[in-house]
Amino acid sequence: MDSSESFSENSRIQPAELEGRSKNASLRRSSTSEVKQAQINHSERFESLMESGLALLNRQHWTPFKIFMLAGLILTLPGILSVISSSGTGPATGLTPASPIIAIMGETGAGKSSFIKALGGRDDSGNFPLVGHTLNSTTKKVQWYSAVAGSKGFYILDTPGFDDSYMSDFDILEGLTKELATIYSNSRPLTGIIYVHDVSKEKMGGTSHKSLRTFQKLVGERSMENVVLVTTHWRSFLKGDQVKREDELRKTFWASMIGRGSKILRHDGSTKSAVRIVKEMLDRKPVVVKIVDEMVNQKMAFYQTDAGGVVQEGLKVLEGKLDSNVAALNDEITQLKKERKDAENAVEDRVKKLEKQWKTSTQKERQEIEAQMKQIKTEGAEQAGKFNKQLTALVYEKQQQAYQINDLKKANEALRSQLDQQRRRQLLEEEERRKKEKEETDGESGFFTKLFTFIISAIIWVFLILVLIGFCVSP
């Protein structure tokens, strides 16, 4: 007999019933020893069941308990099925080049990697994206992941933030544009673009403005219908303030995108929330972002694209700021050196003055003067140390600014070099086109010239033949 049958049978046995059964058995049976033995057997069996925790419910309690448990299961079943059906299940299987692609963009620290992890997105090695908890970027290049929403698999294109702490905007956009151009050239469907924004940020600073402008120029107005603006880092105790910020974003900074079809959705950090957002985009018509159209179809250099223009403006502004900072640092260093020199001269003058007093003073006064001189020299050394420490910090900061200026100049040189190469390529293509047109024109004119010459020659020959025939047949 299995445990469930044992439980069903023995859960009905209680001490009162055992006593009643024993009395009935004594009436039915004549042997008192058999009745006592039956009572002992039933009692031992019941005690054993009580020790094992099986005889907890009697007959009148067991049936309502079963009904209660069944009702609870029925009530919770839809929620369980909902969670199962809405959850991401990790890396997708059976993906093809025709599977949808969702691109994730936004500032560093906005929550792009966390969003992908909530979807269960994994790379080819089965790894989740790294999630950072500082302002330094954890995504240093364009990366691919795969995931499932419901029963549909899709690809995720993860991108570094446009304000990345390790890469320049030029490097980021160049790498991203190459991936997007490859997607377009291979006729793969980019069905959605998610722009992630940290709603806990109190203000839209200069970096946020630049990041948003770059995104808008990269995507273009025609592709805004495929964009979902996702707000992250929602906090329940700050929800009132965050709702106000979201409303400000909707009415000001994101108004033009919303007017062209973009949506705003909230992500609370859960898998259910992430899947709900992605499901909005999987079945949309594939889109060609503006920078791909500019560089692939219109044969423009990155320097000439709208997004490239934003990067150039940012580089110029940043270079100007860095130049101003370096100039200010130079002035500060000069001033600090002057203050240090003045302090050293002041200490030296005080010491000389005390030395003169020492020569004309008594023994007791000399001891006091020597103590003052020692204290002045100590204070002077401490002050000089502070000045040197400040100077070291300023010089280091100046060096860092110089490194950044050098990096910016390299980026500008790279952009100019790319533009020059693009121009040379365009000139060569134009020259090749003209040469081809000339050859075609020359070929056509040569054909007609030859045809004309042939016709004239034929007419002359026909004329000569007719003359010859006429001459021969004439009397």
The model's pLDDT over 325-356, given as tens digits with 9 standing for 90+, comes to 778 888 888 888 888 888 888 888 888 888 88
**Cβ neighbourhood burial of 115 (10 Å; 0-12, 13-18, 19+):** buried
Strand order in the sheet with 152-158: 143-149, 152-158, 101-106, 190-198, 227-232, 263-266
Instruction: Quickly tell me which residue has 């020259």 as its tokens.
Output: 431
Q: Cα–Cα distance between 165 and 177 in angstroms, integer?
A: 19
Range 101-298 classified under CATH 1.25.40.20: no
Q: Is the pLDDT of residue 430 over 50?
A: yes
pLDDT score for 363: 74
195 vs 316, more confident: 195
What letter would DSSP give residue 306? H
pLDDT of residue 10: 41
412 has a pLDDT exceeding 90:
no
What pLDDT score was predicted for residue 104?
94
Mean pLDDT, rounded, for 380-391? 83
pLDDT value at 12 more than 50: no
pLDDT at residue 154, as a whole number: 93
pLDDT at residue number 56: 42
Query: Given a cut of 50, is residue 274 above it in pLDDT?
Result: yes
Would you tell me how many other CB atoms lie within 10 Å of the CB of residue 289?
A: 25
The pLDDT tens digits of the residues spanning 213-233 come to 989 999 999 999 999 999 999
- Residue 227: enclosing H or E segment and its boundaries? strand 227-232
- The percentage of residues in the chain with a pLDDT greater than 70, rounded to a whole number, is 70
pLDDT(306) > 50: yes
Confidence (pTM): 0.56
Q: What are phi and psi of 434, to 5 degrees?
A: -65, -40
Give me the pLDDT at residue 156, please.
92
Report pLDDT for 371: 84
d(CA 67, CA 338): 91
Q: List pLDDT tens digits, range 106-135.
A: 988 888 989 998 998 887 776 766 664 444
Instruction: Using the predicted structure, report yes or no on whether residue 399 has a pLDDT greater than 90.
Output: no
Q: What rounded mean pLDDT belongs to the chain?
A: 75
- Residue 124 corresponds to which tokens in the numbers above? 């080819």
**Range in 48-57, 58-67, 145-154, 285-294 with the lowest mean pLDDT:** 48-57
